[in-house]
């Protein structure tokens, strides 16, 4: 077992293991935890620890899903506080920290994506309330999607779908997609009347469109 720092806390009720991007391990445990329980916990996590440390060594430049990872959130940058423990996954924002607690990486990523989806829904709603009067149309339904290849779409029945990954780009680019899909409620194509509407609603849409296209390649959590 690689070396780790043991932190006992009277407030803590579960065991929690953290590995930061430099490979340092910290084990947070309730104050009265027995050494045998600590060893059993570490044994259960041994494969994950080995895999994570190996990946940190192999690809130090590639962001690894580990404690301390920077996460984009519109115009802000949040820092991932990742903690592995048993029980229901939890995500909680605490200032600039995004605290994720889950049993393993798959669950942690899932919980994080769910949290981002909810945030996207909230933000999209607020921005649609802002832009719908400017466009003069409102969607019938808003759907949060997770497509890898598109930011948004607008169905003939008035459903606007938005990619939750829009939370990973600056807020003014999220706005561009909102305006774009709302304008499709007037013009369901990309011909001149559509771009005329876009120019009316968002005079600088062209630069935002190009910036959004460039940020598309860096999209992952
Ligand atoms: Zn379009």
Distance 180 CA to ligand 1 centre (A): 6
pLDDT of residue 147: 79
Looking at residues 168-185, what average pLDDT do you find? 97
17-39 pLDDT tens trace: 988 877 788 899 999 999 999 99
Q: Has residue 133 got a pLDDT over 60?
A: yes
Looking at residues 124-138, what average pLDDT do you find? 97
Q: Which domains are delineated in the chain?
A: 1-62 (no CATH), 117-218 (3.30.2010.10)
Q: Among 126, 129, 149, 151, which residue's Cα sits nearest to residue 138?
A: 129
Q: Are 209 and 176 in contact (CB under 8 A)?
A: yes
| Residue in the structure block whose two tokens are 């940058």 | 77
Distance 38 CA to ligand 1 centre (A): 55
pTM for this predicted structure? 0.74
140-159 pLDDT tens trace: 999 999 877 789 999 999 99
pLDDT of residue 219: 56
201-217 pLDDT tens trace: 999 999 999 999 888 65
Q: Are 55 and 22 in contact (CB under 8 A)?
A: no
Distance 114 CA to ligand 1 centre (A): 26
CA distances 202 to 28, 58, 121, Å, are: 50, 45, 22
Give the DSSP letter of residue 165. G
34-88 pLDDT tens trace: 999 999 999 998 988 888 888 877 765 556 788 899 999 999 999 999 999 999 9
Distance 190 CA to ligand 1 centre (A): 6
The contacts of residue 213 (CB under 8 Å, 6+ apart) are none
Distance 30 CA to ligand 1 centre (A): 53
Distance 71 CA to ligand 1 centre (A): 28
* Percentage of the chain lying above the pLDDT 90 cut: 70
pLDDT confidence tier of residue 124, bands split at 50, 70 and 90: very high
Provide the CA 89 distance to its chain's centre, in angstroms: 15
pLDDT confidence tier of residue 218, bands split at 50, 70 and 90: low
Distance 220 CA to ligand 1 centre (A): 22
pLDDT of residue 55: 80
Distance 113 CA to ligand 1 centre (A): 25
Higher-scoring residue by pLDDT: 126, 217: 126
| Residue 93, token pair as written in the block | 């924002």
> What gap in Å lies between CA 16 and CA 83, rounded to an integer?
6
Distance 118 CA to ligand 1 centre (A): 24
Distance 46 CA to ligand 1 centre (A): 48
């Amino acid at each position: 077992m690689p070396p780790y720092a043991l932190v006992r806390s009277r407030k803590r009720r579960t065991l929690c293991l953290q590995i930061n991007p430099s490979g340092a391990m910290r084990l947070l445990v309730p104050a009265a935890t027995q050494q045998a329980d600590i060893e059993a916990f570490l044994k259960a996590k041994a494969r994950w620890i080995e895999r994570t440390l190996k990946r940190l060594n192999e690809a130090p430049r590639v962001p690894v899903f580990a404690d301390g990872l920077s996460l984009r959130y519109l115009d802000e940058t949040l820092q991932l506080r990742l903690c592995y423990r048993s029980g229901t996954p939890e995500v909680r924002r605490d200032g600039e920290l995004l605290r994720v607690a889950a049993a393993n990486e798959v669950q942690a990523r899932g919980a994080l994506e769910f949290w981002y989806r909810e945030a996207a829904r909230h933000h999209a709603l607020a921005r649609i309330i802002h832009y719908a009067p400017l466009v003069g149309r409102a969607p019938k339904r808003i759907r949060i999607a997770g497509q890898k290849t598109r930011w948004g779409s607008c169905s003939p029945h008035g459903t606007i779908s938005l990619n939750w990954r829009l939370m990973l780009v600056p807020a003014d680019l999220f706005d561009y997609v909102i305006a774009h899909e709302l304008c499709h409620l007037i013009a369901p194509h990309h011909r001149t009347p559509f771009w005329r509407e876009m120019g009316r609603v968002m005079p600088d849409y062209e630069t935002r469109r190009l910036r959004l296209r460039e940020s598309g390649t860096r999209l992952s959590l």
